[in-house]
């Protein structure tokens, strides 16, 4: 790690913007990624047709162990990585997610949870916050339950996501609303933007489908029409 000198300003590790703007870090000096996406598991209660997981999913027994993930986190911190994004599948499907967030915090990493939110309770979310979680990103499949629950393949999923988003802000955690847009929900984009505002989200991530894995297999039902693209251009 870079040794602090009298001319190297100390940065609050919980201030993500300040960390990223810091100059002379190991990551910047050697071209190491500032952030790393950690796919903890392929397990997920949702069945989104645009999922980029491989068609042949790894079973839980094939996942890295808690000790192995902790070693990865420590090594990432040592080489100068600044942020880790816990993803999957659904990262909260792992029983050790709080322990992993705590370890990441202990070694000085900024942590983001990328989640479908449907497995979270308020108590679990508070445990994650107490362990040092810095940010929550919740995926939404639409702005209302008819489309959202159909796309996600999970009854009651949309209402649970709204509830967890509320808990996130109550716990004073920054919130990103993520929405993958495609033929089935692109007409809802204006309402999704408004939903993010209503949820007091700090950030809205409007994403396109990445056509590999399950998304490639289901591309015929996901590719937007020409008319949808024209309307989206007008909105943006």
What 3 state SS string does 9-35 have?
CCCCCCCHHHHHHCCCCHHHHHCCCCE
Q: Quickly count: other Cβ atoms within 10 Å of residue 222's Cβ.
A: 23
The answer to whether the CB of 35 falls within 8 A of the CB of 81 is yes
| C-alpha closest to that of 199 among 231, 167, 155 | 167
Complete edge-to-edge strand list for the sheet that includes strand 110-115? 35-39, 83-87, 110-115, 135-140, 175-181, 203-208
Q: Give the pLDDT confidence score for residue 58 in this predicted structure.
A: 73
What domains can be seen in the chain, in order of their start residue? 16-21+35-235 (3.20.20.70)
Give the pLDDT score at 213: 87
Q: What token pair was written down for 82? A: 């600044």
Per-residue pLDDT of the chain (236 residues; tens, 9 = 90+): 444 343 445 656 556 555 555 556 666 677 788 999 999 999 999 999 999 887 777 777 899 999 999 999 999 999 999 999 999 999 999 999 999 999 999 999 999 999 999 999 999 999 999 999 999 999 999 999 999 999 999 999 999 999 999 999 999 999 999 999 999 999 999 999 999 999 999 999 999 999 988 999 999 999 999 999 999 888 87
Q: At CA 14, angle to CA 12 and CA 20, rounded to 5?
A: 75
Q: Please tell me the distance from the alpha carbon of residue 81 to that of residue 108, in angstroms, as a whole number.
A: 10
Q: Are 226 and 199 in contact (CB under 8 A)?
A: no
Dihedral (C-alpha) 46, 49, 50, 56: value to the nearest 10 degrees?
Answer: 80
């Amino acid at each position: 790690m870079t040794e602090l000198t009298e001319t190297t300003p100390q940065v609050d590790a919980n201030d993500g913007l300040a960390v990223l703007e810091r100059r002379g870090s190991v990551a910047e000096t050697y071209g190491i990624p500032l952030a790393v996406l950690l796919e903890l598991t392929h397990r997920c209660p949702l069945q989104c047709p645009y999922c980029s997981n491989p068609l042949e999913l790894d079973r839980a027994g094939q996942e890295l162990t808690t000790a192995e993930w902790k070693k990865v986190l420590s090594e990432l911190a040592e080489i100068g990585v600044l942020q880790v994004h816990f993803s999957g599948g659904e990262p909260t499907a792992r029983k050790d997610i709080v322990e992993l967030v705590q370890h990441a915090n202990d070694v000085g990493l900024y942590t983001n949870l990328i989640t479908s939110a449907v497995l979270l309770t308020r108590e679990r979310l508070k445990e994650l916050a107490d362990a040092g979680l810095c940010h929550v990103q919740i995926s939404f499949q639409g702005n209302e339950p008819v489309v959202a629950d159909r796309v996600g393949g999970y009854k009651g999923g949309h209402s649970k996501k709204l509830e967890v988003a509320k808990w996130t802000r109550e716990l004073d955690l920054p919130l990103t609303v993520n929405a993958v847009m495609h033929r089935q929900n692109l007409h809802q984009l204006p309402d999704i933007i408004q939903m993010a505002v209503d949820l007091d989200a700090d950030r809205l991530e409007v994403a396109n489908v990445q056509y590999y894995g399950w998304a490639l297999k289901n591309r015929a039902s996901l590719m937007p029409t020409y008319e949808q693209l024209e309307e989206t251009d007008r909105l943006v």
